[in-house]
Amino acid sequence: MNNLKKQQIALTVIKVLLKRFETFPLDASNNRNAPFHEAFLKAFKDNFEDKVSDVPFFISLSSWLHGLNTTLGQTFFEKVAHILSGGEKRQYTSKKLGNLKIYQSQKNKINEIMTELSNSEITPNLEQENSEISSVNKGNLTNAIDFSADVFIEDNNFITAIELKSVKPNSGEMKGEKQKILESKTALKKAFPDKEVYFYIGFPFDPTNDTKTGYNKTRFLNSIINMTKFFDPAETLIASELWDKLSEESETMEQILTIINTISTPDFMEIFQFLQNNTNRNNPRYLQILEEWFLFSEIELLQKDSHIKDLIRDDKKLQKMYHQQMFRGDECNWQKMNELVKV
């Protein structure tokens, strides 16, 4: 993984941490009265033992953790996937890019496949499904189902689309996902006839595995209701398999976790505030933190610091820019970066 991607991932990690620190429940003062939760939790008193001493705080923390799960699922994983792959989110819907077209005969064939899968008359077979759908590509056209791809990667020869999912999807969700993917890749193949089209469902980690980055595909897929009923293992990507596919490199998930673990420490806010104080730029610790946090663009500016200060001596606009903080809110101050790097 190159330094630019490491820095982009690091900045995404910093953004997530800053947002979660803003909402962390330092106390339960805003949740003093949760009578229904407390009433139900009494049944679990023996299970809590000495683990939970402050029930209102526990309830607040649970809500905060739910927010973190949402942030990871809806923002972080998708953003990192785009950084690694050079892909983007695509939405082929009536309100966004417009619906793509497929042949009515293909839609009928997809419905037939879905009925047979639902009734367990057939088992999922990616190659066979693709062959059957492509063999009926004629007749009247109709709109494909509204669909989006969390990650859409296009080059001169291939289109790879990935739908990122929670490792604990809702019951009954897999049937709808399968129907969507069958129509989506059929529509993409018609829209891009000269390219090979692949559509995967991706899971960022395997909670059933003993190691952080490893996975047992058979066991994991069997843990999801109706997953193996509708999906061929060949159209799923799990844990390190997913991240390596996105980056086209090995040990990608390990590198992502290294970046997170390096930045996400108990003194994170103290370090962040240290970086935001421009008077610390001459402190050796400042450069050390930039290196530890993979902030390579800032390292470049710091290495040119004396030169930059000489050149902006008579330019008040750039002087003001120079003294701005590294971050604006939870975003890197790219305007400052871009202006000063040109000096």
What is the predicted pLDDT for the residue at 31?
A: 63
What is the predicted pLDDT for the residue at 341?
A: 84
pLDDT band at 29 (very low <50, low <70, confident <90, very high): low
* End-to-end CA gap in the chain: 29
Share of the chain above pLDDT 70, in %: 98
Query: Comparing 25-29, 174-178, 203-207, which segment has the lowest mean pLDDT?
Result: 25-29
In the predicted model, what is the mean pLDDT of the chain? 91
Decide if pLDDT at 7 tops 80: yes
What is the predicted pLDDT for the residue at 180?
A: 95
Collapsing DSSP to helix, strand or coil, 149 comes out as strand
Domain extents for the chain? 3-84, 88-249, 265-341
* This prediction's pTM: 0.90
Using H for helix, E for strand and C for coil, what is the string for 206-226? CCCCCCCCCCCHHHHHHCCCC
Question: Parallel, antiparallel, or unpaired: how do β-strands 327-328 and 236-238 relate?
Answer: unpaired
Decide if pLDDT at 268 tops 70: yes
- The 10s digit of each residue's pLDDT in 228-256 is 999 999 999 999 999 999 999 999 999 99
| Those residues with Cβ within 8 angstroms of residue 93's Cβ, 6 or more apart along the chain or in another chain | 99, 146, 147, 148
- The 10s digit of each residue's pLDDT in 278-332 is 999 999 999 999 999 999 999 999 999 999 989 898 899 999 999 999 999 999 9
Amino acid letter, 290: L
- Distance from chain centroid for Cα 179: 23
- The 10s digit of each residue's pLDDT in 216-225 is 999 999 999 9
What is the predicted pLDDT for the residue at 27?
A: 67
* Residue 307: φ, ψ to 5°: -65, -45
What is the predicted pLDDT for the residue at 143?
A: 94
Query: Taken in order 312, 315, 316, 322, is the CA torsion positive or negative?
Result: negative
Question: Parallel, antiparallel, or unpaired: how do β-strands 331-332 and 327-328 relate?
Answer: antiparallel
| Residue found by looking up tokens 């993984």 in the block | 1
Nearest CA-CA partner of 103 in 133, 147, 146: 133
Nearest CA-CA partner of 190 in 134, 113, 107: 134
- The 10s digit of each residue's pLDDT in 35-63 is 777 777 777 777 777 777 777 778 777 88
What is the predicted pLDDT for the residue at 67?
A: 83
